[in-house]
Amino acid sequence: MKYILQTKELTKVYSMKKAVDNVSLTVKPGDIYGFVGKNGAGKTTFIRMILGLTRATQGSCSFFDGAGDAGDRRRIGSLVESPALYKNLSARQNLELYCIMTGSDRASADGLLELVGLSDTGKKRVADFSLGMKQRLGIAMALVADPEFLVLDEPINGLDPKGIVEIRELLLDLNRKGKTIFISSHILGELEKIATCYGIISSGRLVEEITARQLQEMSMERTMINTDSPEKARKIAAGILGSDNLAIENGILCVSKKIPNIGELTNEMFKNGIIVSGITSDNGGAEEYFLRKMEEGQS
């Protein structure tokens, strides 16, 4: 299969305003696609369109190389905003009911509760659940039919740090078992440890697509060493650190990797008659980069 989801120029206009503006993206088998954007960027609207919950004003969307459709609950599981739950029922009753509604095996409910960490909630009514517990139940419901593709709109919303880690691990595990995942968030950091690629949406537009590897390179620590002799300084740095990820920008030596012992490096430069007049460093700043991209998209 070439793609799980492909959208072409998908657009949604609400009373003159483009909530989603010409978004074309492809989710490939095995991806964990992180869909990142601020509040109001258009994430939920995009997700509702691909799931057929709201009609696109323009553009198209197809699944599984064109062989599936949004209504196929056995292939596509989803959680959009808050899950629709029966408040007076327990987690297990909700899940069993959902199994019946989707024609899935009720016996899977216990395993799913265990998987999302809700197996000890017993008779507790969903009305008395915390937000995080409801999110977990929503994820369990998305998994009921053991779908190939999971579409999750801000599933980490409302979870405590421990819950975030658990859901991340759950998603990684599901991905290892072959599920492709599309997950939205307004916080890049929440997706950073799991996504294989990212799409950044700003004011309805897809302003950037980037792989996890590219992001990792950008996040790498950078040290700028200002000297009176940059070429000579580069040779010395190469002798100690290896020659990759060294560059001279505007006459300044830029080292885009971790320097285990900066003292050793500057000492060696001094010994070779190089005057080091300044050292600064930044962490590449993936989050910063994303924020900038989001700002750009709004202009």
The residue ranges that bind Mg ion (CB under 5 A) are: 43-44
- By beta-carbon proximity to ligand ATP, the closer residue of 113 and 206 is 206
The one segment of 39-47, 115-123, 191-199, 237-245 that binds ligand ATP by CB under 6 A: 39-47
AA letter at 184 = S
CB of 17 to ligand ATP, least distance (A): 6
Torsion of CA 77, 82, 83, 85, to 10 degrees: 180
In this structure, the number of other CB atoms found within 10 A of the CB of residue 185 comes to 22
Give the binding range for ligand ATP (CB under 6 A) out of 34-42, 69-77, 231-239, 278-286.
34-42
DSSP letter (8 states) at residue 83? -
Q: Which candidate, 140, 195, 154, 213, places its Cα nearest to that of 30?
A: 195
Q: Which does 147 bind (CB under 5 to 8 A by kind): Mg ion, ligand ATP, none?
A: none
Residue 19's binding partner, choosing from ligand ATP, Mg ion, none, with beta-carbon cut-off 5 to 8 A by kind?
A: ligand ATP
Residue placing its CB nearer to ligand ATP in the complex, 46 or 98:
46
DSSP string, 26-78: EE-TT-EEEEE--TTSSHHHHHHHHTTSS--SEEEEEEGGGTB-TT-TTTEEE
Estimate to the nearest angstrom the gap between the alpha carbon of 203 and the chain centroid.
Answer: 18
Within residues 145-204, the interface with ligand ATP by CB under 6 A covers 186
Q: Which of 43, 168, 179, 234 binds ligand ATP (CB under 6 A)?
A: 43
Interacting residues toward ligand ATP by CB under 6 A: 14, 19, 37, 39-45, 186
